[in-house]
Every structure is written in C-alpha cells, then in structure tokens.
Structure 1
Amino acid sequence: MRKKYFNEILASEDNRHSVHYYKSIDWNQIEDGLDKATWEKLTSQFWLDTRIPVSNDRNDWRMLSDQERDVINKAFVGLTLLDTLQSEEGANAMRDDVRTQHEEAVLNNILFMESVHAKSYSTIFISLNTTNEIDKIFDWGNNNLLIQYKAKRINEIYQNGSPLQKKVASVFLESFLFYSGFYAPLWYLGNNKLENVAEIIKLIIRDESVHGTYLGYKFQLGFNELSEDKQNELKDWIYALLFDLMKNEEKFTEEVYSQVGWTYDVMTFVKYNANKALQNLGFEAFYQDGMPEHVNPIVMNGISTESSNHDFFSQVGNSYLIGESEAMDEDDYNF
C-alpha cells in the first residue's frame, strides 16, 4: 500500500485535517493547478474509435499499392504494441511517485485513453483488412525485434527506474517513439486519402500531446529539486537513452518505409518529435535536421491547417459526434 494515502494518522495542527486511514480526494483543494487543468482538458476531449466511420476509407484503401498497405499495417501494429505497453505498465509504474492525489486521477485517465488508442488500431485493421491479414500483421509485430526492443527498453525503465527516469521513458514513448507510426496516415491525409483513419490518428496525437507535456512538467518539478551533480548525471542518462532509442528507430523506419522511399522524410519527422520530447522535459532541441522547416510540409499540414485553430484548453465540441476533430497547432505540443 502507498504510505501517502494509507497512513494510520497524518498529523496536523487541528483534527479537521487529520486522516485516520484513507484520504478522500478533494477537488476543491488543488495543490497543483495543472492537475485540474489537465483533467479538464482530457475529459473534455474524450472520444471513442467507434464514432469514426473508418469503413468509409475502404475505397481509398483498395487504391493503394500492396507496399503502401503493408507500410500502414506495420506502422499501426507497432503503435498497437506500444499503446498496449503504455496502458498496462506506463501509468501504473508512476502511481507510487505522484505528488498529489489529483495527479493520480490524471494518470487513471491517461491509462484508460491509452487502452482506447490501442483498441482504435484494431478498429482500423478490421475495417480495412481480412481476418487472415490481421492475424499475419499481429504475428509480425509481436515478433519484430525492433518493435520489441522499444517495448523492452521502455518497460525495463518502468520496472526498475527511478521516479524521474520513469517519467522520461513515458515522455519519450508518447512524444517521440509513436511518431514513426503516425507519419503515414498524416501523409495520406495531406493527399486527401484515408481521411477517417487520419481523424483517429489526429485524436490520438491530441491526447499524446497532453500526456507528454503533463508528464514532462511533472518531471521538471522533480528535476529542479536535484543538486547540480544529480541533474548532470540524470541528463547524461537521458541523452544516452535518446541516442539508443533513435538508433533503433532508424532501423525500424528503414525496415518499414524503405519500400515506398520515405525513410529520410520519416526520420526527419521522428527527430522533430524527439526535439519536442526534449522540450517537454525542459531541455533544448537537439536535432538540427529535425527543425519544423525540414519536415515534409504535407505531413505538417496534416497536423495543423490554417483554416482551423486548436487551443490547448478548448473543448471537443459537437462536431466530434460526426467524426470530426480539431486540427493540431505547433503550440499543442507545449503547455
């Protein structure tokens, strides 16, 4: 049991604030305003995959080449595995280290939505592929060494890392490692194809941007409490992890995307989001070839459009009920 909430007595100046056994969460007494703001943001943008008419993309799917369909299937099964890991281990691994009860409530929401994300890919698969094709792609993903390496590397930190290392692993997963899989649907969206598939991806990206920035903020609170020596030690560990994951990501991107000639463009997008992950943690962008101006503009347009502005704390709105979502802006990656 976590001692934070299961103490026999929590001493205080008067009995009105004592806790005998279990502490009730009080949303009228907020210790960190960002907990409440994040909770409200996540609950306001709640969505389910079943409300997006993915089957309407079947004509577009049939027009793709075998290689293009293979790219999307492999990208999505990789995303499924990582979302499964995040829903089963990620939030749970950080529960014992929360600063507030409200932070744990936010983690509960994150955990559930990661399960929604993982399920969403199955909705896409069943809408566009046969059962036999789905079985083959899941078999490929569950046995692909590069995908499994990502999962193993992150989960080892979840199981054995320090509280701050766990947050780094989660931010890297949510803000960086997912994006090699996101590239393809965003590219097709920019070319007016697979629009409903891309709507699901945009909704997932919108969630992940909140998850990454929130956990990055919580990391910074703890990081700023460390001594300078401890900060430097942790930074060395962070960059070593980044380089290791990036090396694996280069191999994965080559394996998946080389058949359509997109390897270089995808890696530029991956580095762009690795920079975003570092910024979520409070560090400077590292990859000069991952700056926004280097990313394929078609993909950037798939994230944000001039015709629609998306405020980080805006509501989902009634338009969601007919399978629409608001576009992402550059600022959506940051608090």
Structure 2
Amino acid sequence: MSTTLRKVSVLEPVNPNKSTALFGGKASGILNWNDIAYPHFYQHREQIRALFWRASEVDMTHDIKQFPTLSIEEQDAFLKIIGLLATLDGPQTDIAARIAQFATDPSVKSIMATIADQESEHNHSYAYVLSSVTTLQDQIESFETGRVDKVLLERNRRIVEVYNEFAINPTIHTVLKAMVYTSLLEGLFFYSGFAFFYNLARNQKMVGTSTMISYINRDELQHGRFISELFRATLAENPEYNTEEFTEWVYDQFRHSVEQEIHWSHYVLHAIDGIDLIEMEGYIKYRANKMLRLLGLSDIYEEHTKNPMKWIRAYVDNFDGTKTDFFEQKSRQYTKTSDLNGFDEL
C-alpha cells in the first residue's frame, strides 16, 4: 500500500529546518540553503535560475514578414506544433506546483516554484509567437489542437491519466509516476516539434521563433536534469518502490511514448522539406535512451546511442548525462548526477 501524501504545512517550527525526507518527512518550512538535506540541489537551483528570460525580449519582426511566405504544409505544421507544445507546457506549471505542495524538503519547493514560473513563461511564449504571426482565430484554433486533434489526444492519453492520478490520489507511488512523465515531457515529447523549428531556422526561416524555442529547450534540459535527480533521490529514500514491476512500468511508458512521438512526427512532419523521418525516429529513440540514463535505467534502443541529427546541436546548449543502475541493484547507494563523470551530447 503506497504512502498517502498530505499537503505540507507552510510552517511547523517544532520540526527541524533540514528535512527528514523529500516526501512524507518532517521539516519546519524554513529554508537555509547552507543546511539542506541534498546540498547539490543548490547547484540545480543556480543553473535553473540563470536561465531567466521573457518572450517579449525576442524580436519577431522578420517572422511576422516570413510566416505568410511559408508553404501551406509549413504553416499547418507550425500551428499544430505550437498547439502541441502549449498542450504539454500548460499543465507543467500546474504539475510542478502540485509536486511542490507535497514535497517536505523546502529546497525542492523553491526549485519547483522556479520551474513552474518558467513553464508559465513557455506557455506565454507560444501565445506571443502566434499573436505575432497570425490571426486571433488561427491562434485560438492552434490552442484548441490539444482538445480536438485525435492523433494528439491519443498521444497524450497516458500523460492525462498519470497526472490526474497524482492529482486525485497523491502518494509516493503516484508522485514517482508523475515525475517519470515529467521527465518524458521535458526530455522527449517536445523534440520532434523543436526539430521542426530548428529546421526552419537552418533555412533562414522564422529565426525569431527558433530563438525562442532554443530558450525553451535549454530550460527543459535543466528541468529534466533536476526532475530526474529528484526521482532518483525519492526512489533511494523509498526503496520499497524499487521493484521489478515498477521498473518494467517505466520501460513500458518509454516504449509507448517513443511509439507515440514517432507517430506524431510522421503525422505532422511528413510534408516538411529537410526533415528525414527515419533520422527523426532514430533521434527520438536516442533521446529516450538519454532520459532513461538520467533516471538510472539502461538503454532500450541499443542501436541508437548516438545522435543521428547532429545539426540540432547548433541550436541549443549541451548538457551532462549520467548512468546509474540502482534500479538493477536495490542496495546501490544513491549518487548525485554531479558526482558522475562523462559528457553527453544533446
């Protein structure tokens, strides 16, 4: 039976400042960054905070002129992909806030608050882009995509189920599952969409939009790192959930998500010049392997350990990767990602 979580009180002075557990523990609510249970979380905080930007800072002048010159296929993909990104990023603000509500550790609350704020700006940026290049009616229809497009609805079905399960029944088990899907969103689900905008940019089209997407992509890489770190630390604190059944559940979600992302990429990018869909499939599988390693699991696509779309690296920062197999050995001590060597490309 999974431990039910309760919303954490704002202040409980009888408890220690340093939390006794990430979830379901005790803490006063007073945050002293020099006295936290996971000191390296401070580095995550600093890296995420360093990424502050606003959509209104991006110059859309040339994009306004270029959008009408895009092919019908490019315009259609542009609007559908913005609809996809808005569908995924909108709930990310909420899920970050909900995780924070049940986190005992005040450093986690603080970091998740920053993540929630950045996700809110991501969502705003999509509205900003659309308001710059198209009509209000097209903007509304683009944001309706996540509610009415059958392919997108099926693609997002499990996300809806897992996030709502955590919202209705917050437990250690459901928060772990929600973090798996947050990792999938941050590290996999956006990437065929990102590739579309980067492909436009390498052909000198919609460079302002691509610049904004690269800012979002950079944020998501840092969010994915922290969420993976939080997942692994939570699992290490609650080893009873480190079971073969749960491990297989995670692998199944990744396989399913890869299938859905590939299906979506074929659906939305099939008529786009410059995008090789076979190459895209390999890239999606490569991204899945990367995110699995961050979660402490093994590659499931052994033939896709290298990035087949290296041109994408020009548009977003690289970041460190990790591989820790404590799923495979329950007794394996938790190791923070910053203690692990190795450099992994985008």
Letter in 2 for 1:72: F
> Are 1:157 and 2:162 matched, yes or no?
yes
- Summarize the alignment of residues 60-99 of structure 1 with structure 2, pairs less than 5 Å apart: 60-88=66-94, 90-98=95-103
Which consecutive aligned stretches of 4+ in structure 1 deviate over 6 angstroms post-superposition? Answer: none
Aligned mates of 2:16, 2:141 — CA distance in 1? 58
What SS does the aligned partner of 2:32 have? coil
Change (3 A) 1:6 1:233: farther
**Offset at residue 229 of structure 1 (A):** 8.2
> Are 1:267 and 2:281 matched, yes or no?
yes
Q: Which of 96, 104, 109 pairs up with 2:114?
A: 109
Identity of aligned residues (%): 22
Q: What does residue 174 of structure 1 align with?
A: 186
Q: What does residue 258 of structure 1 align with?
A: 270
TM-superposition CA deviations, 1:40-64 (whole Å, max 9, x none): 2222220000000123223332332
What SS does the aligned partner of 1:219 have? helix
Q: What does residue 14 of structure 2 align with?
A: 9
> Are 1:233 and 2:245 matched, yes or no?
yes
Aligned mates of 1:11, 1:299 — CA distance in 2? 46
Q: What does residue 59 of structure 1 align with?
A: 65
**Structure 2 unaligned regions, length at least 5:** 1-5, 18-26, 167-172, 321-342
Aligned mates of 2:100, 2:16 — CA distance in 1? 23
Aligned mates of 1:241, 1:250 — CA distance in 2? 14
Aligned mates of 2:135, 2:155 — CA distance in 1? 28
Q: What does residue 26 of structure 1 align with?
A: 32
**Offset at residue 78 of structure 1 (A):** 0.2
Letter in 1 for 2:59: P
- Equivalenced residues, count: 302
TM-score of the pair, normalised by structure 2: 0.78
Aligned mates of 1:285, 1:132 — CA distance in 2? 43
What is the alpha-carbon root mean square deviation over aligned residues?
Answer: 2.8
Structure having greater relative contact order (Cα 8 Å, sep ≥ 6): 1
Letter in 2 for 1:94: I
Q: What does residue 286 of structure 1 align with?
A: 300
Letter in 2 for 1:47: W
**Structure 1 unaligned regions, length at least 5:** 13-20, 305-309, 313-329
Contact 1:164 1:219 in 2 (8 A): yes
Give 1 or 2: higher helix fraction: 1
> Are 1:47 and 2:60 matched, yes or no?
no
